[in-house]
Chains A and B, each alone.
Chain A
Amino acid sequence: GAVVSQHPSRVICKSGTSVKIECRSLDFQATTMFWYRQFPKQSLMLMATSNEGSKATYEQGVEKDKFLINHASLTLSTLTVTSAHPEDSSFYICSARGVGGTEAFFGQGTRLTVV
C-alpha cells in the first residue's frame, strides 16, 4: 500500500512557541490531505482538509489562524500549531489520498506535548 510519513513522531515544545508537523506521501501524489487530532481514549477528530495549491477547509470550531496548514506540493503538507498551549497537547495524524484514489492512507501520527 501507499506510504505516508509524518515527522516528527514526538515533539515537546514550550507554551507560546510554534511547532510544525510534516506529512509526506512517499510513493504517490497526494491531491488531498486531511489533518486529524486525537485526544486520549477518544476518536479521531477531523481538523481540516486541503487540496494541493488551495487553501485548507477547516472544520467548525477549528481556528485557522492557530492551526496553519500548507499543501504546497503534491507530496507534502504541513500543519503548524502556533502559540501552542498545554491544551493543544494531542496526537496529530495526517492522511493522504491520491488522484482517483479510493482510500486514504494515514501517517503514523505525531504526539505533541506542550509544557
Chain B
Amino acid sequence: DAKTTQPPSMDCAEGRAANLPCNHSTISGNEYVYWYRQIHSQGPQYIIHGLKNNETNEMASLIITEDRKSSTLILPHATLRDTAVYYCIVRVSTGFQKLVFGTGTRLLVSP
C-alpha cells in the first residue's frame, strides 16, 4: 500500500510556481521521498528525491519538513508541458524495494 497522501488535483497558472504537497507521516528513518510524474499516455518520469535536506535540480525543488512527515515539490515556473499526474513515493534508496504508486496529484497548468 502507498504510504503517502496527496491532493487529487491542483491548478496552476503558466509561469507561476506550482507547489505540490505530500504527507508521509509514517515514513521510516531510512526511507527517501521520491517524486515522479506521468504525462498522459507515457511512462513515469523521475523528478527528484531526498532524505531530509532540501534538494534542487534542473526540474524542481524538494522541501522536506524537519520532522520528515511531509514534503512539497516546487516547480518554480510552471509551463503547459508540466501538466501531468505527480506521484510522491517513499522507499529506501537501494536494494530490492519496489516503487508503490498512490493516486497522485493531477496538476493542470493553464495559460
Contact = CB atoms under 8 A, between A and B. Distances in A.
**Secondary structure of the A contact surface, majority rule:** strand
9 contacts: A36-B101, A43-B103, A46-B99, A46-B101, A49-B96, A95-B43, A103-B34, A105-B46, A109-B43
Interface of B: 32, 34, 36, 38, 41-46, 49, 87, 93-94, 96, 98-104
**Secondary structure of the B contact surface, majority rule:** loop
Interface residues of A, number: 26
Contacts of B44: 44, 93, 95, 106
Contacts of A91: 41
Interface string A91-110: 10101000011111111110
Contacts of B104: 43
Interface of A: 1, 4, 6, 32, 34, 36, 43-46, 49, 51, 91, 93, 95, 100-109, 111
Closest CB pairs A-B (n = 6): A106-B43, A44-B101, A102-B93, A106-B44, A43-B101, A109-B43
A92 B45 CA distance: 15
Contacts of A111: 41
A95 B99 contact: yes
Nearest to A36: B101
A106 B99 CA distance: 11
A100 B98 CA distance: 14
A93 B41 CA distance: 10
B42 A49 contact: no
B66 to A, nearest CB: 23
B91 to A, nearest CB: 10
